[in-house]
Structure 1
Amino acid sequence: MEASVFITNRTQAVRLPSEMRFANDVKRVSVRIVGNERILTPLNQRWDSFFLNSDNVSDDFMAEREVSIQPEREEL
């Protein structure tokens, strides 16, 4: 799917097709630059897609993680 990029009042804007529009309550987005890409994410929801997408890490992620045992501490 494609969107159009245009200039309005000396600002670059993106017109999203209706199939790709954000929810009506989204008023601001975060813009992340990854190489030549610009990724728009509803503000304050940047981590949602990471945690909801199980394909982000391999099955052996942290498989050999060293588990440290916390020393006992004197009670206060």
Structure 2
Amino acid sequence: MKEVKTPKKPLAYYYGIVLIVLIVFNLVVTPILMEHQVKETDYGTFMSMIEKKNIGEVEVKDNQIIFTDKDQKNI
């Protein structure tokens, strides 16, 4: 007697699932990564934020000043 086998799912079905998972992953992770991106500001903006006491943490390198505001978001 011949054994009845269930039909295999086409490969395109699995590609579709992987594509959907990648899209959902990008929709979730990309905004999180973009939120923590460093933005360039001029020295005048930095000084006005110091005067308003709106600076959280400052790191001075050779020719860069990296700082955060009081909410600990990189500027």
Q: Report the TM-score when normalising by structure 2.
A: 0.22
Structure number with greater Rg is 2
Q: Between Structure 1 and Structure 2, which shows a larger proportion of strand residues? A: 1
